[in-house]
């Protein structure tokens, strides 16, 4: 059965904190945010999950198999090492978008993100049984040759942002899939169980809207790590064989 | 005189590294990238500069007052603590876009970003004399009330991405300004010396293209820190007085 | 049954690396070492283990319940984020000293710590079944009042080092216990199953050799985390009730 | 003229924090401490200084050329990224011990290290003019061959601790020099202007008390970085030429 547990990790009362009592230096804010994200990558990654920085103050994680105690340990570890705390909402659904919607609603019900007295909320829906996660790993076809080595750095950045924007909107609207920019020219999407044709259509859509060619490897597994590694290997096949879509994943690993 | 030193910091041969000999786990890649960025924030910030993560493998920094020895120290420090090395190109110009264009060209001349034998290139144009940096700090009007506390987390993310995309393209095309998403609902733009009216037009453009209301504080100073802090204070004025554009900066600090 | 799994984590060929091709700056070496240690604290801690920095290039960990795959993941994570690699040897025994001796021997058999071609050795003895770890947490009686607030900082440091030296040597010689300085005025010892009287004797010995008064909380558990937290609570009892030895641990938690 | 600025960096009210409201997990405390230290290494190192972890909650730094604004920036950066704050006292003297004594006294005058209301004290004595720092870098002769590759890891650790204890006490008592263990088998001492013979005597003393052979490279410079790098190069000469004491430093650099 296909299903993904999505978690919303929200820094409590962060906006006000960044300007209290007066605005804090940007380098401190940036390094606080990116280190907190790095730590969550490792802590969640050690249990097979993925986390995306998204807005940094609202991070989104794929956490199949996590229970409340694991999230509580994350909250404790953040509280003990950072000047901020985090609230976490989590829910499971065959549609990543639907899962995140319920995860979000749970935090919103508990109070505003800028309510100074709302701290370390933890709201985890009962988790389902054995589920399958689908991860799609996209990148630009020959990004270094076509863009990085040829165009001005900021123009390359604009192009990648355009491709990402087109993909994220299309994929969310049509399938409730959640796409994230993960650096370089890489996008990772958390997907429901959709057809190979659906990936082809997404690539086609991005090309039409932006003129940019994407390729994608798709993997499935019991958690984000398993699905994500399968997706990376599938993307390597795209590169080696110059084909835009490779779906691998659980199939290759379990023989079904 | 207005002028900004822009530096392009590029991880050497990074794409191939991430998949050699086989794809590396995403949590390790993410934490490597975001910690390297956090360290550069501090190291560059300690000398008054700003750095933006941009694509993570290609970071863009505002480095007025930096000389070759300071960049070399950055390269050494990265080499001594990370499994990757960085190349750096830097140039100054009244137009941030023009400065970054020359900075980029210097690295491109030295070889491909994925040339395994191109390592730790350092190409720094002679720096100009006393110059003024302009930083504009944007955010969404009442983002928490209108979006974060009301909409599903990923839809908020889509909206912020749309606003950012509209701003980055417009501002670069019309003024050669470089805009960066810095987390939450904040965008920081490195600008040439433009009029208050130009900021008003940018906000107007984003509203027309996306329906999203931005506000902006603008600061000027001898380096990114000085200009950036003035911009933050100006943005506080926008919030307090509910007006969309506040230009402060060097004026308030030097009395001119 | 009492038994502790001890792991020796050794940076490969580290000495030569620090001076190749010329000596590397001390701040880079120090931050590399201490961040690697911090990461291992979290990664090992997330699975219930403790790690001590010891010499930094040779760290010692209590890793009950860890199998080869978990150690391999640690090696991979270090390799992916640092410019160095680590070898690991692990063994279990009722005596922590005996366990570490076998763990050490396994690495030594594989080659010299400064053999450039010996990299990422992993040698894990078969782990035993359900075992009990004993952790003793010592600190100085009223360290702040008697020392930190009164004496010159370096003289306080000398006193703490003297107390630590006396404890580490006595405890290792008499019981094969391994003691580590963990900051402030705190020492943590990994112990075999010894009597309350044995802790009293250790404190007595340190007082006689150095004139310094220690107190100790002792905890037992299935892993270092459980035993270590029980020890901390026991030490709080020492502070509250002004008695030098409190043995708690598994007893208080399981009711036996 | 010889003179060293020493700074005592003390985490405010740290002991109580580690057990409030209940004892915090050791892995969180350890990673908090060692990352804070790593950050200070970089931040102080970027301005030519050295910092030693010492007790972690009381760190000692060599900060020639630092003024109050630089220390205030360190305090701000810690406050913005960690759940703790730091107080700093600094003073200069030809004797490192005397400098640290006055630095310590300034903090003690301001209140107890465990006074909850004493936060972010900054007490910096007026700095002197151009001064010379002396750094001595010791290590064990053939530590890997004689110890690491042959003896059980903890016994090696005991030996290194014994050598360090003997050196630190002798050197402080006879010369007011401050010695620190910096990992591996390395000790760094901040020294007044003493003769080559004095280093020979220190090595002789350690051999007599512990049977362990040390060697030392000595460097001088305008700040810790300059002196420390010269000391490292001098120690390389000891290794290459098998002689126990090499004094280089300012001499080699300035020609005197």
Q: Alpha-carbon distance B169 to B160, whole Å?
A: 14
Verify whether the Cβ–Cβ distance D169 to C183 is below 8 Å: no
Q: Alpha-carbon distance D34 to D53, whole Å?
A: 8
Chain C residues whose beta carbon lies within 8 Å of the beta carbon of residue B80: 24-25, 28-29, 32, 83
The model's pLDDT over B219-241, given as tens digits with 9 standing for 90+, comes to: 999 999 999 999 999 999 999 99
Chain D residues whose beta carbon lies within 8 Å of the beta carbon of residue A28: 76-77, 80-81
* CB-CB contact of C159 with C150 (8 Å): no
Nearest to C72 by CA among C14, C32, C12, C124: C124
Verify whether the Cβ–Cβ distance C45 to D26 is below 8 Å: yes
Test mutation, A17, A30, A229, chain B, max B CBs within 10 A: A30
Among the partner residues C32, C76, C77, nearest to B81 by beta-carbon distance: C32
What pLDDT score does B248 carry?
84
Chain A residues whose beta carbon lies within 8 Å of the beta carbon of residue C46: 43, 46-47, 73
The model's pLDDT over D211-241, given as tens digits with 9 standing for 90+, comes to: 999 999 999 999 999 999 999 999 999 999 9
Scanning every residue of chain B, which has its alpha carbon at the shortest distance from the alpha carbon of C77?
Answer: B28
The pLDDT > 70 percentage for chain A reads: 95
* pLDDT at residue B2 tops 80: no
The model's pLDDT over C211-240, given as tens digits with 9 standing for 90+, comes to: 999 999 999 999 999 999 999 999 999 999
Verify whether the Cβ–Cβ distance B77 to C28 is below 8 Å: yes
* pLDDT, mean of residues B114-120: 92
* pLDDT at residue A16 tops 70: yes
Q: pTM above 0.90?
A: yes
Q: How confident is the model at residue D183 (pLDDT cuts 50, 70, 90)?
A: very high
The model's pLDDT over D62-81, given as tens digits with 9 standing for 90+, comes to: 999 999 999 999 999 999 99
What pLDDT score does C130 carry?
59
Q: How confident is the model at residue A248 (pLDDT cuts 50, 70, 90)?
A: confident
* pLDDT at residue A254 tops 50: no
User: Which residues in B have their CB inside 8 Å of a CB on C?
Assistant: 24-25, 28-29, 31-32, 35, 76-77, 79-83
Verify whether the Cβ–Cβ distance C97 to D144 is below 8 Å: no
DSSP secondary-structure letter at A248?
-
* pLDDT at residue C205 tops 70: yes
* pLDDT at residue D253 tops 70: no
Q: What is the DSSP string of chain D?
A: -B-EEEEEEEETTHHHHHTSSSPPPHHHHHHHHHHHHHHHHHHHHTTT-EEE-TTSSEEEEE-TT--HHHHHHHHHHHHHHSSS-EEEEEEEESSHHHHHHHHHHHHHHH--TT-TT--S-EEEPPP-SS-BEEEEEEEETTHIIIIITTS-HHHHHHHHHHHHHHHHHHHHHHH--EEEE-STTEEEEEE-S--HHHHHHHHHHHHHHH---EEEEEEEESSHHHHHHHHHHHHHHHHHHT-SEEE-THHHHH--
* pLDDT, mean of residues D147-162: 96
The model's pLDDT over A26-37, given as tens digits with 9 standing for 90+, comes to: 999 999 999 999
A partners (3+ CB pairs within 8 A) are B, C, D
What pLDDT score does D6 carry?
97
The pLDDT > 70 percentage for chain C reads: 95
| Mean pLDDT estimate for chain C | 94
Return the residue matching tokens 């190749």.
Answer: C20
Verify whether the Cβ–Cβ distance C55 to D28 is below 8 Å: no
Verify whether the Cβ–Cβ distance A77 to C39 is below 8 Å: no
More confident call, C2 vs A175? A175
What pLDDT score does D233 carry?
97
What pLDDT score does C1 carry?
60
* pLDDT at residue C150 tops 80: yes
């Amino acid at each position: 059965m296909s299903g993904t547990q999505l978690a919303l990790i929200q820094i409590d009362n962060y906006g006000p904190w960044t300007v209290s009592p007066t605005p804090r230096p940007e380098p401190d804010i940036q390094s606080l945010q990116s280190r907190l994200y790095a730590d969550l990558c490792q802590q969640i990654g050690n249990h097979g999950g993925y986390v995306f920085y998204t807005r940094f103050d609202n991070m989104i994680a794929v956490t199949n198999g996590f229970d409340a105690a694991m999230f509580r340990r994350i909250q404790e570890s953040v509280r003990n090492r950072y000047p901020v705390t985090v609230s976490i909402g989590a829910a499971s659904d065959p549609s990543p978008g639907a899962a995140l919607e319920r995860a979000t609603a749970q935090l919103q019900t508990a109070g505003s993100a800028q309510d100074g007295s709302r701290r370390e909320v933890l709201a985890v829906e009962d988790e389902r049984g054995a589920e399958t996660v689908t991860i799609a790993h996209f990148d630009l076809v020959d990004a270094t040759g076509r863009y990085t080595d040829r165009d001005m750095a900021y123009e390359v950045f604009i192009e990648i942002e355009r491709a990402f924007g087109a993909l994220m909107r299309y994929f969310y609207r049509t399938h409730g899939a959640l796409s994230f920019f993960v650096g370089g020219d890489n996008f990772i999407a958390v997907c429901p169980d959709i057809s190979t044709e659906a990936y082809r259509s997404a690539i086609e859509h991005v090309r039409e809207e932006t003129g940019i060619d994407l390729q994608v490897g798709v993997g499935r597994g019991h958690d984000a790590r398993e699905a994500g590694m399968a997706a990376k290997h599938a993307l390597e096949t795209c590169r080696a064989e110059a084909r835009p879509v490779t779906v691998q994943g659980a199939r290759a690993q379990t023989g079904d």
